[in-house]
A = this chain, B = another copy of it.
Amino acid sequence: MATATRNVKAIIPLLDRVLVQRVKAQQKTSSGILIPEKSLESLNEGEVISVGKGALDKHGKHVPNQVKPGDRVLLPSYGGNTVKVGEEEYTLFRDSEILAKIEEK
């Protein structure tokens, strides 16, 4: 579903939720030929846009999340809540659902 807001920066995830934007598959080959959309491979790599303060432990304190804004992450192939902000699609995952960070050196 969509939001009325058109500004993704306005979205502040709660608790252990993490707002992610999936990396889009390249629509051109390296030689510049356009790949038709239905041939594009789906990618489960994304960029963290924003994160909540972390889930509450039993003393009522926030447990810090494992990922932070700007992190490249590996996403599970199921789950998450998809939200459309303006023309872009984002997904909210729980921090513990994020499989891995991707750190190119």
Contacts and interface: CB of A to CB of B under 8 A. Distances in A.
Given A10-B105, A57-B58, A100-B92, A23 B2 contact: no
Given A11-B74, A66-B14, A66-B15, A2 B100 contact: no
Interface residues of A, number: 46
Given A14-B66, A60-B63, A43 B3 contact: yes
Nearest to A11: B100
Interface in A51-105: 52, 56-58, 60, 63, 66-67, 72, 74, 76-77, 81-83, 92, 96, 98-105
Interface of A: 1-5, 7, 10-15, 17, 19, 23, 25, 41-45, 52, 56-58, 60, 63, 66-67, 72, 74, 76-77, 81-83, 92, 96, 98-105
